[in-house]
Amino acid sequence: MLALADCNNFYVSCERVFRPELENRPVVVLSNNDGCIIARSNESKALGIPMGAPVFQIEEQLRRQQIHIFSSNYPLYGDMSDRVMNTFEASVPQVERYSIDEAFLELSGCNEEERLSECRELKARVRRHTGIPVSIGIAPTKTLAKVANHHAKRHPDCNGVFELSDERKRDEVLGATGVEELWGIGRRTGIKLRRAGITTALELQRADITWVRREFTVTGMRTVLELRGEPCIELETAPPAKQTICSAKSFGQLIQEWDPLASALTAYLTQAVDKLRRQQALTSAMQVFAHTNRHRRDDPQHACSVLLEFPPTDYLPELARRAVEGLRPHFREGMRYQKAGVLLLQLIPRSHRVGHLWDDLEQLEKQDALMSVMEQVNRRWGRRTLNLASAQDTHQWRMRQHRRSPGYTTCWSEIPVAQTG
Amino acid sequence: MHGPTHRRQQKQRATIEKRNHRVVIATLNGEFTVKRLVQDEEGIFLVAENPEFDNIPIRVDSDFSIWGVVTHIIREV
Protein backbone atom coordinates (compact mmCIF):
# COMPACT_ATOMS: atom_id res chain seq x y z
CA MET A 1 0.00 0.00 0.00
CA LEU A 2 1.21 3.52 -0.80
CA ALA A 3 0.79 6.83 0.91
CA LEU A 4 1.27 10.42 -0.13
CA ALA A 5 2.56 12.58 2.69
CA ASP A 6 2.24 16.27 2.02
CA CYS A 7 3.31 19.15 4.27
CA ASN A 8 0.44 21.53 5.03
CA ASN A 9 1.02 25.01 3.57
CA PHE A 10 4.70 24.11 3.63
CA TYR A 11 6.42 27.50 3.25
CA VAL A 12 4.10 29.10 5.78
CA SER A 13 4.62 26.21 8.18
CA CYS A 14 8.43 26.56 7.90
CA GLU A 15 8.17 30.24 8.84
CA ARG A 16 5.85 29.49 11.75
CA VAL A 17 8.17 26.92 13.31
CA PHE A 18 10.46 29.81 14.21
CA ARG A 19 7.72 32.39 14.78
CA PRO A 20 5.31 30.57 17.08
CA GLU A 21 3.34 33.77 17.67
CA LEU A 22 2.09 33.50 14.07
CA GLU A 23 0.24 30.26 14.80
CA ASN A 24 -3.47 30.74 13.95
CA ARG A 25 -2.75 34.10 12.31
CA PRO A 26 -2.98 34.86 8.58
CA VAL A 27 0.40 34.49 6.84
CA VAL A 28 1.50 34.55 3.18
CA VAL A 29 4.80 33.88 1.42
CA LEU A 30 5.83 35.74 -1.75
CA SER A 31 7.61 34.53 -4.87
CA ASN A 32 11.09 35.66 -5.93
CA ASN A 33 11.38 39.44 -6.11
CA ASP A 34 8.34 39.67 -3.85
CA GLY A 35 6.05 39.46 -6.88
CA CYS A 36 3.12 37.14 -6.17
CA ILE A 37 1.54 35.13 -3.37
CA ILE A 38 2.86 31.57 -3.53
CA ALA A 39 1.82 30.16 -0.15
CA ARG A 40 -1.04 30.93 2.20
CA SER A 41 -1.94 29.83 5.69
CA ASN A 42 -5.48 28.52 6.17
CA GLU A 43 -6.41 31.84 7.77
CA SER A 44 -5.25 33.74 4.66
CA LYS A 45 -7.21 31.35 2.44
CA ALA A 46 -10.29 32.01 4.56
CA LEU A 47 -9.80 35.76 4.11
CA GLY A 48 -10.01 35.19 0.36
CA ILE A 49 -6.38 35.83 -0.63
CA PRO A 50 -6.08 34.18 -4.04
CA MET A 51 -3.14 31.91 -4.89
CA GLY A 52 -0.74 33.57 -7.32
CA ALA A 53 -2.15 37.06 -6.78
CA PRO A 54 0.32 39.86 -7.61
CA VAL A 55 1.17 41.69 -4.41
CA PHE A 56 0.66 45.17 -5.84
CA GLN A 57 -2.98 44.32 -6.58
CA ILE A 58 -3.88 43.28 -3.04
CA GLU A 59 -1.47 45.38 -1.00
CA GLU A 60 -4.33 47.29 0.56
CA GLN A 61 -6.15 44.11 1.59
CA LEU A 62 -2.97 42.60 3.05
CA ARG A 63 -2.48 45.69 5.18
CA ARG A 64 -6.09 46.05 6.22
CA GLN A 65 -6.42 42.44 7.32
CA GLN A 66 -3.02 42.50 9.03
CA ILE A 67 -1.74 39.57 7.07
CA HIS A 68 1.85 38.73 7.87
CA ILE A 69 4.03 38.72 4.75
CA PHE A 70 7.29 36.82 4.14
CA SER A 71 9.65 36.93 1.17
CA SER A 72 10.53 33.40 0.16
CA ASN A 73 13.48 31.87 1.99
CA TYR A 74 14.47 28.85 -0.10
CA PRO A 75 17.53 27.87 1.94
CA LEU A 76 15.22 27.51 4.95
CA TYR A 77 12.52 25.59 3.05
CA GLY A 78 15.09 23.30 1.44
CA ASP A 79 16.66 22.49 4.77
CA MET A 80 13.32 21.92 6.52
CA SER A 81 12.27 19.71 3.62
CA ASP A 82 15.39 17.60 4.13
CA ARG A 83 14.54 17.15 7.78
CA VAL A 84 10.99 16.08 7.00
CA MET A 85 12.18 13.66 4.30
CA ASN A 86 14.84 12.20 6.59
CA THR A 87 12.16 11.42 9.14
CA PHE A 88 10.08 9.67 6.46
CA GLU A 89 13.11 7.71 5.32
CA ALA A 90 13.93 6.59 8.85
CA SER A 91 10.33 5.41 9.39
CA VAL A 92 9.09 3.52 6.32
CA PRO A 93 10.73 1.00 3.95
CA GLN A 94 10.65 3.09 0.74
CA VAL A 95 10.35 6.80 0.06
CA GLU A 96 10.09 8.76 -3.17
CA ARG A 97 10.83 12.44 -2.64
CA TYR A 98 8.30 13.82 -5.05
CA SER A 99 8.67 17.55 -4.48
CA ILE A 100 9.97 19.91 -1.83
CA ASP A 101 6.94 19.21 0.34
CA GLU A 102 5.56 15.84 -0.80
CA ALA A 103 6.74 12.25 -0.69
CA PHE A 104 5.26 8.93 -1.71
CA LEU A 105 5.79 6.28 0.95
CA GLU A 106 5.53 2.54 0.91
CA LEU A 107 3.76 1.34 4.04
CA SER A 108 4.32 -1.96 5.78
CA GLY A 109 0.97 -2.27 7.63
CA CYS A 110 -1.15 -5.27 6.55
CA ASN A 111 -4.59 -3.79 7.18
CA GLU A 112 -6.29 -0.43 7.30
CA GLU A 113 -6.11 -0.13 11.05
CA GLU A 114 -2.37 -0.86 11.15
CA ARG A 115 -1.67 1.56 8.33
CA LEU A 116 -3.73 4.32 9.88
CA SER A 117 -1.90 4.03 13.17
CA GLU A 118 1.45 3.80 11.35
CA CYS A 119 0.66 7.07 9.56
CA ARG A 120 -0.70 8.82 12.65
CA GLU A 121 2.49 7.94 14.47
CA LEU A 122 4.55 9.19 11.50
CA LYS A 123 2.61 12.44 11.36
CA ALA A 124 3.24 13.00 15.07
CA ARG A 125 6.91 12.14 14.69
CA VAL A 126 7.44 14.62 11.85
CA ARG A 127 5.73 17.28 13.92
CA ARG A 128 7.95 16.45 16.89
CA HIS A 129 11.19 16.32 14.88
CA THR A 130 10.60 19.33 12.65
CA GLY A 131 7.53 21.26 13.80
CA ILE A 132 5.97 20.79 10.35
CA PRO A 133 2.36 19.54 10.11
CA VAL A 134 1.75 16.92 7.40
CA SER A 135 -1.30 15.21 5.95
CA ILE A 136 -1.18 11.63 4.72
CA GLY A 137 -3.40 9.90 2.18
CA ILE A 138 -3.21 6.11 1.92
CA ALA A 139 -4.28 4.12 -1.16
CA PRO A 140 -3.17 1.28 -3.45
CA THR A 141 -2.01 3.66 -6.23
CA LYS A 142 -0.30 7.03 -6.47
CA THR A 143 -3.25 8.69 -8.18
CA LEU A 144 -5.63 7.51 -5.44
CA ALA A 145 -3.12 8.44 -2.72
CA LYS A 146 -3.23 12.00 -4.06
CA VAL A 147 -7.02 11.99 -3.82
CA ALA A 148 -6.88 10.50 -0.32
CA ASN A 149 -4.44 13.17 0.76
CA HIS A 150 -6.68 15.90 -0.55
CA HIS A 151 -9.58 14.40 1.38
CA ALA A 152 -7.48 14.21 4.56
CA LYS A 153 -6.69 17.91 4.26
CA ARG A 154 -10.23 19.03 3.59
CA HIS A 155 -12.00 17.03 6.28
CA PRO A 156 -10.94 17.99 9.80
CA ASP A 157 -12.48 14.81 11.25
CA CYS A 158 -9.73 12.77 9.51
CA ASN A 159 -7.12 14.49 11.70
CA GLY A 160 -4.84 14.62 8.69
CA VAL A 161 -4.77 10.89 7.87
CA PHE A 162 -7.16 9.11 5.51
CA GLU A 163 -7.18 5.75 3.73
CA LEU A 164 -8.92 5.15 0.44
CA SER A 165 -8.82 1.42 -0.16
CA ASP A 166 -12.36 0.25 0.58
CA GLU A 167 -14.15 0.26 -2.78
CA ARG A 168 -17.42 1.74 -1.63
CA LYS A 169 -15.67 4.58 0.18
CA ARG A 170 -13.33 5.05 -2.78
CA ASP A 171 -16.16 5.51 -5.26
CA GLU A 172 -17.96 7.87 -2.93
CA VAL A 173 -14.89 10.12 -2.66
CA LEU A 174 -14.16 9.91 -6.40
CA GLY A 175 -17.75 10.95 -7.08
CA ALA A 176 -17.12 14.13 -5.10
CA THR A 177 -13.82 14.87 -6.84
CA GLY A 178 -13.74 17.06 -9.93
CA VAL A 179 -11.93 15.38 -12.82
CA GLU A 180 -9.50 18.29 -13.20
CA GLU A 181 -8.38 17.93 -9.58
CA LEU A 182 -6.79 14.58 -10.39
CA TRP A 183 -3.05 14.05 -10.49
CA GLY A 184 -1.91 13.92 -14.12
CA ILE A 185 -4.96 15.70 -15.54
CA GLY A 186 -3.85 19.07 -16.86
CA ARG A 187 -6.12 22.02 -17.57
CA ARG A 188 -6.57 21.17 -21.23
CA THR A 189 -7.28 17.50 -20.63
CA GLY A 190 -9.78 18.56 -18.00
CA ILE A 191 -11.65 20.75 -20.49
CA LYS A 192 -11.62 17.98 -23.09
CA LEU A 193 -13.00 15.48 -20.58
CA ARG A 194 -15.75 17.85 -19.53
CA ARG A 195 -16.72 18.32 -23.15
CA ALA A 196 -16.99 14.55 -23.44
CA GLY A 197 -19.39 14.60 -20.47
CA ILE A 198 -16.94 13.40 -17.85
CA THR A 199 -16.97 15.76 -14.89
CA THR A 200 -16.04 13.68 -11.84
CA ALA A 201 -13.17 11.33 -11.09
CA LEU A 202 -15.73 8.53 -10.68
CA GLU A 203 -17.05 9.05 -14.22
CA LEU A 204 -13.49 8.87 -15.54
CA GLN A 205 -12.82 5.71 -13.55
CA ARG A 206 -15.88 4.10 -15.18
CA ALA A 207 -15.14 5.35 -18.67
CA ASP A 208 -14.48 2.90 -21.48
CA ILE A 209 -10.77 2.11 -21.40
CA THR A 210 -10.24 1.80 -25.15
CA TRP A 211 -11.96 5.12 -25.72
CA VAL A 212 -9.74 6.75 -23.09
CA ARG A 213 -6.65 5.25 -24.64
CA ARG A 214 -7.62 6.50 -28.08
CA GLU A 215 -8.52 10.01 -26.94
CA PHE A 216 -6.02 10.56 -24.15
CA THR A 217 -3.14 8.23 -24.99
CA VAL A 218 -1.54 5.78 -22.64
CA THR A 219 -1.12 8.46 -19.95
CA GLY A 220 -4.88 8.86 -19.69
CA MET A 221 -5.34 5.12 -19.60
CA ARG A 222 -2.90 4.83 -16.72
CA THR A 223 -4.88 7.39 -14.75
CA VAL A 224 -8.08 5.35 -15.25
CA LEU A 225 -6.43 2.11 -14.18
CA GLU A 226 -4.89 3.80 -11.17
CA LEU A 227 -8.34 5.11 -10.20
CA ARG A 228 -9.54 1.50 -10.33
CA GLY A 229 -6.81 0.58 -7.86
CA GLU A 230 -4.36 -0.99 -10.32
CA PRO A 231 -0.88 0.47 -9.78
CA CYS A 232 0.64 1.70 -13.06
CA ILE A 233 3.03 4.35 -11.81
CA GLU A 234 5.88 2.90 -9.81
CA LEU A 235 7.61 4.37 -6.81
CA GLU A 236 10.80 6.08 -7.95
CA THR A 237 13.13 5.83 -5.02
CA ALA A 238 16.23 6.94 -6.90
CA PRO A 239 15.25 10.00 -8.91
CA PRO A 240 16.72 9.95 -12.43
CA ALA A 241 19.71 12.28 -12.77
CA LYS A 242 18.78 15.59 -14.36
CA GLN A 243 19.48 15.92 -18.08
CA THR A 244 19.80 19.68 -17.96
CA ILE A 245 20.29 22.19 -15.18
CA CYS A 246 18.85 25.66 -15.41
CA SER A 247 19.47 28.69 -13.27
CA ALA A 248 17.74 31.88 -14.35
CA LYS A 249 16.18 34.73 -12.43
CA SER A 250 14.68 38.15 -12.80
CA PHE A 251 16.76 40.99 -11.41
CA GLY A 252 15.67 43.07 -8.44
CA GLN A 253 15.80 46.08 -10.79
CA LEU A 254 16.29 46.42 -14.54
CA ILE A 255 19.94 46.39 -15.63
CA GLN A 256 21.38 48.58 -18.41
CA GLU A 257 25.11 48.00 -18.08
CA TRP A 258 27.21 44.99 -18.84
CA ASP A 259 29.15 44.64 -15.56
CA PRO A 260 26.20 44.02 -13.25
CA LEU A 261 24.66 41.70 -15.83
CA ALA A 262 27.87 39.69 -16.03
CA SER A 263 27.94 39.59 -12.25
CA ALA A 264 24.37 38.27 -12.05
CA LEU A 265 25.15 35.70 -14.73
CA THR A 266 28.17 34.47 -12.77
CA ALA A 267 26.09 34.16 -9.61
CA TYR A 268 23.35 32.16 -11.38
CA LEU A 269 25.98 29.97 -12.99
CA THR A 270 27.50 29.35 -9.55
CA GLN A 271 24.19 27.85 -8.43
CA ALA A 272 23.89 25.71 -11.54
CA VAL A 273 27.43 24.37 -11.13
CA ASP A 274 26.70 23.59 -7.49
CA LYS A 275 23.81 21.37 -8.62
CA LEU A 276 25.96 19.87 -11.36
CA ARG A 277 28.66 18.84 -8.92
CA ARG A 278 26.13 17.49 -6.44
CA GLN A 279 24.92 15.03 -9.02
CA GLN A 280 28.55 14.28 -9.90
CA ALA A 281 28.21 15.31 -13.50
CA LEU A 282 30.12 17.31 -16.07
CA THR A 283 28.68 19.63 -18.70
CA SER A 284 29.98 20.12 -22.21
CA ALA A 285 27.53 22.74 -23.50
CA MET A 286 25.59 25.64 -22.13
CA GLN A 287 23.07 28.14 -23.28
CA VAL A 288 23.49 31.64 -21.90
CA PHE A 289 20.73 34.19 -22.27
CA ALA A 290 19.37 37.56 -21.21
CA HIS A 291 16.28 39.50 -22.13
CA THR A 292 14.35 42.68 -21.47
CA ASN A 293 10.90 42.85 -19.86
CA ARG A 294 8.30 41.91 -22.48
CA HIS A 295 5.51 43.41 -20.41
CA ARG A 296 6.99 46.88 -20.60
CA ARG A 297 5.53 47.70 -23.97
CA ASP A 298 7.17 51.12 -24.19
CA ASP A 299 10.70 49.81 -23.67
CA PRO A 300 12.78 48.71 -26.67
CA GLN A 301 12.92 44.92 -26.56
CA HIS A 302 15.93 42.69 -26.89
CA ALA A 303 16.62 39.03 -26.22
CA CYS A 304 20.00 37.42 -26.73
CA SER A 305 21.07 33.86 -26.35
CA VAL A 306 24.19 31.93 -27.22
CA LEU A 307 25.01 28.23 -27.27
CA LEU A 308 28.54 27.30 -26.25
CA GLU A 309 30.28 23.95 -26.56
CA PHE A 310 33.49 22.85 -24.86
CA PRO A 311 35.23 19.78 -23.39
CA PRO A 312 33.33 18.30 -20.41
CA THR A 313 33.98 20.18 -17.18
CA ASP A 314 32.55 21.20 -13.81
CA TYR A 315 35.11 23.89 -13.09
CA LEU A 316 33.27 27.09 -12.19
CA PRO A 317 35.94 29.69 -13.07
CA GLU A 318 36.29 28.24 -16.56
CA LEU A 319 32.53 28.02 -17.12
CA ALA A 320 32.07 31.57 -15.82
CA ARG A 321 34.70 32.89 -18.20
CA ARG A 322 33.05 31.10 -21.12
CA ALA A 323 29.56 32.29 -20.21
CA VAL A 324 30.56 35.92 -19.78
CA GLU A 325 32.78 36.06 -22.87
CA GLY A 326 30.14 34.19 -24.87
CA LEU A 327 27.28 36.56 -24.14
CA ARG A 328 29.31 39.80 -24.21
CA PRO A 329 29.17 40.37 -28.01
CA HIS A 330 25.37 39.93 -27.99
CA PHE A 331 24.71 42.42 -25.21
CA ARG A 332 23.28 45.76 -26.35
CA GLU A 333 24.14 48.93 -24.51
CA GLY A 334 21.13 50.93 -23.30
CA MET A 335 18.60 48.10 -23.24
CA ARG A 336 16.88 47.51 -19.91
CA TYR A 337 17.48 43.85 -19.16
CA GLN A 338 15.12 42.11 -16.78
CA LYS A 339 16.36 38.55 -16.63
CA ALA A 340 19.37 36.37 -17.41
CA GLY A 341 20.29 32.76 -16.95
CA VAL A 342 22.25 29.71 -17.95
CA LEU A 343 21.22 26.25 -18.99
CA LEU A 344 23.80 23.49 -18.63
CA LEU A 345 23.43 20.82 -21.31
CA GLN A 346 24.96 17.55 -22.45
CA LEU A 347 25.53 16.33 -18.93
CA ILE A 348 27.56 13.20 -18.45
CA PRO A 349 28.47 11.36 -15.26
CA ARG A 350 31.82 12.51 -14.00
CA SER A 351 33.10 8.94 -14.03
CA HIS A 352 32.68 8.93 -17.83
CA ARG A 353 35.24 11.64 -18.38
CA VAL A 354 37.36 10.53 -21.29
CA GLY A 355 40.98 11.38 -20.66
CA HIS A 356 43.04 12.92 -23.41
CA LEU A 357 46.70 12.25 -23.86
CA TRP A 358 47.47 15.89 -23.33
CA ASP A 359 45.10 16.47 -20.41
CA ASP A 360 46.98 18.06 -17.59
CA LEU A 361 45.93 15.68 -14.79
CA GLU A 362 47.63 17.68 -12.12
CA GLN A 363 45.70 20.74 -13.26
CA LEU A 364 42.38 18.84 -13.14
CA GLU A 365 43.10 17.68 -9.63
CA LYS A 366 43.93 21.20 -8.51
CA GLN A 367 40.70 22.50 -10.00
CA ASP A 368 38.70 19.83 -8.27
CA ALA A 369 40.43 20.52 -4.95
CA LEU A 370 39.61 24.21 -5.27
CA MET A 371 35.93 23.51 -6.00
CA SER A 372 35.72 21.11 -3.05
CA VAL A 373 37.17 23.63 -0.64
CA MET A 374 34.76 26.27 -1.88
CA GLU A 375 31.82 23.91 -1.37
CA GLN A 376 32.95 22.92 2.12
CA VAL A 377 33.39 26.51 3.20
CA ASN A 378 29.99 27.49 1.84
CA ARG A 379 28.28 24.52 3.40
CA ARG A 380 29.74 25.37 6.76
CA TRP A 381 29.56 29.15 6.79
CA GLY A 382 26.61 29.78 4.50
CA ARG A 383 26.12 30.20 0.79
CA ARG A 384 28.25 32.82 -0.96
CA THR A 385 30.85 32.96 1.81
CA LEU A 386 33.46 32.03 -0.76
CA ASN A 387 32.60 33.13 -4.24
CA LEU A 388 33.99 34.32 -7.55
CA ALA A 389 34.82 38.00 -7.21
CA SER A 390 32.79 38.80 -10.31
CA ALA A 391 29.63 37.47 -8.62
CA GLN A 392 30.00 39.65 -5.55
CA ASP A 393 28.77 42.98 -6.87
CA THR A 394 25.15 42.22 -6.17
CA HIS A 395 23.40 45.46 -5.33
CA GLN A 396 21.78 46.02 -8.75
CA TRP A 397 20.41 42.60 -9.47
CA ARG A 398 19.93 40.89 -6.16
CA MET A 399 16.32 39.85 -5.66
CA ARG A 400 14.00 42.08 -3.78
CA GLN A 401 13.39 40.22 -0.54
CA HIS A 402 12.38 42.86 1.89
CA ARG A 403 10.66 40.52 4.28
CA ARG A 404 12.87 37.51 4.28
CA SER A 405 13.22 35.56 7.52
CA PRO A 406 16.70 34.61 8.84
CA GLY A 407 18.52 31.43 7.81
CA TYR A 408 17.56 29.84 11.14
CA THR A 409 18.89 26.41 10.27
CA THR A 410 21.51 27.14 7.61
CA CYS A 411 23.55 30.04 8.97
CA TRP A 412 25.27 30.08 12.37
CA SER A 413 24.88 33.81 12.86
CA GLU A 414 21.12 33.63 12.31
CA ILE A 415 20.31 30.72 14.61
CA PRO A 416 17.24 31.36 16.82
CA VAL A 417 17.84 32.60 20.35
CA ALA A 418 15.95 31.39 23.42
CA GLN A 419 15.92 33.51 26.59
CA THR A 420 17.02 31.93 29.85
CA GLY A 421 15.72 34.71 32.09
CA MET B 1 -16.02 20.22 27.22
CA HIS B 2 -14.87 16.84 26.07
CA GLY B 3 -13.69 16.11 22.57
CA PRO B 4 -10.53 17.41 20.91
CA THR B 5 -9.55 19.97 23.56
CA HIS B 6 -9.91 17.44 26.32
CA ARG B 7 -7.91 14.89 24.36
CA ARG B 8 -5.23 17.44 23.64
CA GLN B 9 -4.89 18.28 27.29
CA GLN B 10 -4.54 14.63 28.18
CA LYS B 11 -1.92 14.17 25.52
CA GLN B 12 -0.08 17.27 26.62
CA ARG B 13 -0.06 15.94 30.16
CA ALA B 14 1.39 12.62 29.01
CA THR B 15 4.14 14.39 27.08
CA ILE B 16 4.96 16.57 30.03
CA GLU B 17 5.25 13.59 32.36
CA LYS B 18 7.88 12.11 30.10
CA ARG B 19 9.83 15.35 30.16
CA ASN B 20 9.31 16.27 33.78
CA HIS B 21 12.39 17.88 35.37
CA ARG B 22 14.23 18.18 32.10
CA VAL B 23 15.56 21.40 30.64
CA VAL B 24 13.49 22.26 27.60
CA ILE B 25 13.26 24.88 24.91
CA ALA B 26 9.66 26.01 24.96
CA THR B 27 7.62 28.64 23.25
CA LEU B 28 5.57 30.73 25.61
CA ASN B 29 3.33 33.48 24.24
CA GLY B 30 5.26 33.50 21.00
CA GLU B 31 8.77 33.63 22.46
CA PHE B 32 11.47 31.03 22.87
CA THR B 33 12.66 30.32 26.36
CA VAL B 34 15.03 27.84 28.04
CA LYS B 35 13.71 26.56 31.37
CA ARG B 36 13.37 23.47 33.48
CA LEU B 37 9.99 21.85 33.11
CA VAL B 38 8.46 20.86 36.42
CA GLN B 39 5.14 19.21 37.11
CA ASP B 40 3.91 18.66 40.66
CA GLU B 41 0.61 18.60 42.56
CA GLU B 42 0.24 22.35 42.06
CA GLY B 43 0.49 22.24 38.30
CA ILE B 44 3.00 22.70 35.50
CA PHE B 45 5.77 25.30 35.77
CA LEU B 46 8.69 26.60 33.82
CA VAL B 47 11.49 27.09 36.32
CA ALA B 48 14.56 29.24 35.73
CA GLU B 49 17.83 27.95 37.16
CA ASN B 50 18.37 31.41 38.59
CA PRO B 51 16.46 31.45 41.93
CA GLU B 52 15.80 35.18 41.58
CA PHE B 53 13.39 34.54 38.75
CA ASP B 54 9.83 33.51 39.56
CA ASN B 55 8.45 30.22 38.34
CA ILE B 56 6.11 30.61 35.40
CA PRO B 57 2.87 28.65 35.78
CA ILE B 58 1.48 27.07 32.60
CA ARG B 59 -2.27 27.31 32.42
CA VAL B 60 -4.67 25.49 30.14
CA ASP B 61 -5.12 28.65 28.10
CA SER B 62 -1.39 29.49 27.93
CA ASP B 63 0.05 29.77 24.47
CA PHE B 64 2.65 27.14 25.20
CA SER B 65 4.50 24.33 23.46
CA ILE B 66 7.64 22.32 24.03
CA TRP B 67 10.01 22.82 21.12
CA GLY B 68 12.57 20.31 22.26
CA VAL B 69 14.41 18.78 25.19
CA VAL B 70 17.97 19.99 25.80
CA THR B 71 20.34 17.04 25.53
CA HIS B 72 23.73 18.71 25.04
CA ILE B 73 25.31 22.04 25.82
CA ILE B 74 28.20 23.49 23.87
CA ARG B 75 30.07 26.23 25.65
CA GLU B 76 33.18 28.24 25.26
CA VAL B 77 35.79 27.79 28.01
pLDDT in tens, A261-273: 999 999 999 999 9
Above 70 in pLDDT, residue A321? yes
A contact residues 116-175, partner B, Cβ 8 Å cutoff: 131
Above 70 in pLDDT, residue A256? yes
Q: Can you tell me the distance from the alpha carbon of A121 to that of A2, in angstroms, rounded to the nearest whole number? A: 16
pLDDT at A142: 96
The percent of residues above 70 in pLDDT, for chain A, comes to 99
Q: What does the pLDDT average to over A10-31?
A: 94
Q: Which residues contact A195 (CB under 8 A, 6 or more apart)?
A: none
* A161, A152 contact by CB (below 8 A): yes
DSSP string spanning B30-54? TEEEEEEEEEETTEEEEE-SSTTSP
Q: What is this structure's pTM? A: 0.80
CA dihedral A212, A216, A218, A222 (to 10 degrees): -60
Cα angle A147, A151, A154 (rounded to 5 degrees) comes to 140
B contact residues 34-63, partner A, Cβ 8 Å cutoff: 34-35, 48-50, 53, 63
ipTM of the modeled complex: 0.74
Q: Ramachandran region of residue B56, left (φ > 0), alpha (ψ -120 to 50) or beta? A: beta
pLDDT in tens, A96-126: 999 999 999 999 888 999 999 999 999 999 9
Instruction: Name the β-bridge partners of A307.
Output: A287
DSSP string spanning A12-53? HHHHHHH-GGGTTS-EEEE-GGG-BEEEE-HHHHHTTPPTT-
Contact B33 A419 (CB under 8 A): yes
pLDDT in tens, A281-293: 999 999 999 999 8
pLDDT at A412: 81
pLDDT at A238: 75
Contact B30 A21 (CB under 8 A): yes
Nearest by CB: A419 against B30, B32, B49: B32
Q: Which amino acid is at A272?
A: A
* A201, A227 contact by CB (below 8 A): yes
On chain A, the residues whose CB falls within 8 A of the CB of B35 are 420
pLDDT at B5: 47
Q: Which of A275, A214, A233 is nearest to A98 (CA)?
A: A233
Contact B48 A20 (CB under 8 A): no
Nearest by CB: A417 against B32, B53, B65: B32
Above 80 in pLDDT, residue A400? no
State the pLDDT confidence band at B10, using cuts at 50, 70 and 90: low
On chain B, the residues whose CB falls within 8 A of the CB of A20 are 27, 30-32, 63, 65
Contact A19 B31 (CB under 8 A): no
Above 50 in pLDDT, residue A93? yes
| Mean pLDDT, rounded, of chain A | 91
Determine contact: A421 vs chain B, CB below 8 A: yes
pLDDT at A236: 84
pLDDT in tens, A24-83: 999 999 998 888 999 999 999 999 999 999 888 899 999 999 999 999 999 899 999 999
Q: What does the pLDDT average to over B16-37?
A: 86
Radius of gyration from C-alpha coordinates of chain A: 24
pLDDT at B11: 55
Q: What does the pLDDT average to over A399-419?
A: 86
* A309, A285 contact by CB (below 8 A): yes
Q: Can you tell me the distance from the alpha carbon of A271 to that of A66, in angstroms, rounded to the nearest whole number? A: 35
Above 50 in pLDDT, residue B3? no
Selected for mutation to probe chain A from B11, B67, B69 (highest A CB count within 10 Å) is B67
Determine contact: A420 vs chain B, CB below 8 A: yes
C-alpha distances in angstroms, A336 versus A110, A250, A257, A291, A303?
A: 62, 12, 8, 8, 11
pLDDT at A121: 95
